[in-house]
A and B are shown apart, each in its own frame.
Chain A
Amino acid sequence: MSEQIGVNPQLAGRVYPAGEAYTVGREKIREFARAVKATHPAHFEVEAAKDLGYPDLIAPPTFAIIVAQRADAQLVEDPEAGIDFSRVVHADQRFVHHRPIVAGDQLVAELHVDQVRAMGGGAMITTRAEISTADGEKTATATSSILVRGEGQ
């Protein structure tokens, strides 16, 4: 491996354990929904969410990014990873929802580094955040690839 790559090729297969639980608040769901210009009443009114069969406000489909990026931070900030955050570009993202996230959920995320590939002078890193409630109920799987650009990329 050339030194230019920077990103540690031995990262693949690494697992970062779930940290402290993230509590999903009603106001956070409302704030995030407004920020993505979502208008469905189930993001804002508890009664509208209950009419759909859920106990509290339903988070927008990409809300899990908040929890996933907290988990990613463990990797990005790991000095052994060799990732220069100012050179990171988000390449792709996927959310598989095992059940919708609702206000009141206590969420934890275990981060798996699934793949590290050299790309030019940089590297593409694919991670998977397995998000569950603190009680162990699977909630969402968030898969993400980031490109760490090399020099001149």
Chain B
Amino acid sequence: MPALNDLSVGQEIGSTTIDISRADLVRYAGASGDFNPIHWNDRFAEQVGLPGVIAHGMFTMGAAVQLVTDWADNPAAVVDYQTRFTKPVVVENLDTGGATLEVTGVIGAIDEANSSVRVDLTVTAAGQKVLVKAQAVVRAW
């Protein structure tokens, strides 16, 4: 992460693309312990009124923050991270790339007193914002 006084509000920290397959959702279910069938069972997902199997909101939140972790080059620097989940990410039943997340990070605020910056993430899938108010506070040491 660059020095605090080399940063300015509105500056982009980078962007990334994350492909999601059904296998990724199964892996996240196992790793997190969240086995809700809406994340792996089409029949169940449709029964509860979803367009199909959707990604765990926590998968999307967890994957999107890597842009910030890599920029900070220290996972411990992310001291506060929040988001609202607004649109489901539908993951098609394909061998690869059932959905794609586009993630962009911009400096939203600089707090010199606390030596930290707020990175605002824009996360979209199929052209729609799927996370809103996705903000990570990064501490500079």
Contacts of A59 in B (CB 8 A): 75
> In the bound complex, what is the Cα–Cα distance between A8 and B5 (angstroms)?
50
Interface 0/1 of B69-101, CB less than 8 Å to A: 110011110111111110000000000000000
A100 to chain B minimum Cβ distance, whole angstroms, is: 4
Contacts of B8 in A (CB 8 A): none
B70 adjacent to A39 (CB under 8 Å): yes
Number of inter-chain CB pairs below 8 Å: 108
Does B62 have its Cβ within 8 Å of any Cβ on chain A? yes
Does A50 have its Cβ within 8 Å of any Cβ on chain B? no
B32 adjacent to A65 (CB under 8 Å): yes
> In the bound complex, what is the Cα–Cα distance between A3 and B27 (angstroms)?
38
Which of B28, B74, B84 is close to A36, meaning CB atoms less than 8 Å apart?
Answer: B28
Which of A32, A100, A143 is close to B32, meaning CB atoms less than 8 Å apart?
Answer: A32
Size bin of chain A's contact surface = 35 or more
- Given A58-B76, A94-B82, answer yes or no on A35-B58 (Cβ-Cβ < 8 Å): no
> In the bound complex, what is the Cα–Cα distance between A59 and B81 (angstroms)?
14
- The chain A residue with its CB closest to the CB of B79 is A97
Which of B24, B61, B70 is close to A93, meaning CB atoms less than 8 Å apart?
Answer: B61
A61 adjacent to B81 (CB under 8 Å): yes
B18 adjacent to A37 (CB under 8 Å): yes
Which of A37, A42, A86, A90 is close to B48, meaning CB atoms less than 8 Å apart?
Answer: A86
A61 adjacent to B18 (CB under 8 Å): no
Contacts of A92 in B (CB 8 A): 82-85
A100 adjacent to B76 (CB under 8 Å): yes
> In the bound complex, what is the Cα–Cα distance between A70 and B85 (angstroms)?
20
B85 adjacent to A37 (CB under 8 Å): no
Contacts of B136 in A (CB 8 A): 61
A sample of 13 inter-chain contacts (CB < 8 A) reads A35-B32, A37-B18, A38-B75, A39-B66, A40-B73, A61-B62, A65-B58, A69-B32, A89-B85, A90-B58, A92-B83, A95-B81, A97-B79
Contacts of A34 in B (CB 8 A): 27, 31
Does B65 have its Cβ within 8 Å of any Cβ on chain A? yes
Does A60 have its Cβ within 8 Å of any Cβ on chain B? yes
Interface 0/1 of B20-35, CB less than 8 Å to A: 0000100110111110
Contacts of A36 in B (CB 8 A): 28, 31, 59, 62-63, 65-66
Top 10 A-B pairs ranked by shortest CB distance?
A36-B62, A94-B82, A35-B31, A100-B76, A62-B62, A61-B78, A92-B84, A90-B57, A35-B28, A32-B31
